[in-house]
């Protein structure tokens, strides 16, 4: 059941639309926003598979509660590395699930070959800053440290750099006097939840 109180049987046809696969390491609030947009009928898509490199991640719980297939990406104890052979296995799992578009949503490992080659121009990422400003980790802290008055979020195609691929959509977010890292991140996340479904809609329309 979504935040909107809609679920299966709500009139949304879950067999149609772009087939999405989601990779995440954390809470999964962006995946939830995608599901809410699907439930609200504003995004013609379905999520076929959710994978996480963290077996404890709440994103897996959210997906299971919705009856979405889930799996763990076992990186063999490496803390940040995403070994090539594991990327190949991940690509195969996504392909077997019929995934057409891969959405990284708080996924903390760098995607490289062979996953990129399996989904050319079909892997999206959401980043909590107005790229190319503040790539990498904890961008909201980077923005505060830099003293900017505006930050935001970006959805972009993934290439083999860190947060460098072609930009699909951005939303601006003001930095307010007295902001803490937490308050700024929370404001940026509210924008992210609007932006990700809109970016998927845009990509899907272009692929049609």
Comparing CB distances to ligand GRF, the nearer of 142 and 189 is 189
Distance CA 81, CA 76 (A): 9
What is the pairing mode between strands 101-104 and 18-23? parallel
Comparing CB distances to ligand GRF, the nearer of 88 and 190 is 190
Going through 77-206 in order, the beta strands assigned E by DSSP cover 101-104, 123-127, 150-157, 167-174
Q: For the segment 137-176, give every residue that binds ligand GRF (CB under 6 A).
A: none
Question: What is the per-residue DSSP string for 20-67?
Answer: EEEE-SS--HHHHHHHHHHHTTSS-EEEEEEEES-TT-HHHHHHHHTT
53 touches ligand GRF by CB under 6 A? no
Q: Is the peptide bond before 163 cis (omega within 30 degrees of 0)?
A: no
Q: What residue has token string 């195969």?
A: 92
**Total of chain residues touching ligand GRF, rule CB under 6 A:** 14
Task: Tell the smallest beta-carbon distance from residue 154 to ligand GRF (Å).
Answer: 9
Q: Per-residue x/- mask for ligand GRF, residues 3 to 42, rule CB under 6 A?
A: ---------------------x-xxxxx------------
Task: Tell the smallest beta-carbon distance from residue 208 to ligand GRF (Å).
Answer: 26
Q: Per-residue x/- mask for ligand GRF, residues 55 to 94, rule CB under 6 A?
A: ----x-----------------------------------
The binding site for ligand GRF (CB under 6 A) comprises: 24, 26-30, 59, 105-106, 126-128, 189, 192
């Amino acid at each position: 059941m979504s935040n909107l109180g809609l679920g299966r049987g709500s009139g949304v046809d879950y067999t149609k639309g772009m087939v999405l696969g989601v990779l995440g390491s954390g809470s999964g609030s962006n995946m939830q926003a995608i599901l809410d947009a699907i439930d609200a009928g504003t995004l013609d898509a379905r999520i076929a598979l959710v994978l996480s490199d963290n077996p404890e991640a709440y994103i897996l719980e959210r997906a299971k509660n919705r009856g979405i297939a889930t799996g763990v990406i076992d990186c063999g104890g490496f803390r940040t590395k995403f070994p090539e052979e594991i990327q190949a296995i991940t690509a195969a799992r996504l392909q077997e699930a019929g995934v057409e578009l891969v959405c990284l949503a708080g996924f903390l490992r760098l995607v490289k070959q062979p996953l990129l080659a399996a989904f050319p121009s079909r892997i999206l990422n959401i980043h909590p800053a107005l790229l190319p400003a503040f790539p990498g980790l904890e961008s909201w802290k980077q923005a505060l440290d830099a003293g900017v008055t505006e930050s935001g979020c970006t959805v972009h195609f993934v290439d083999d750099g860190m947060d460098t691929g072609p930009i699909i959509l951005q939303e601006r977010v003001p930095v307010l006097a007295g902001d803490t890292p937490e308050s700024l991140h929370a404001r940026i996340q509210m924008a992210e939840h609007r932006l990700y479904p809109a970016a998927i809609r845009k990509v899907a329309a272009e692929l049609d």
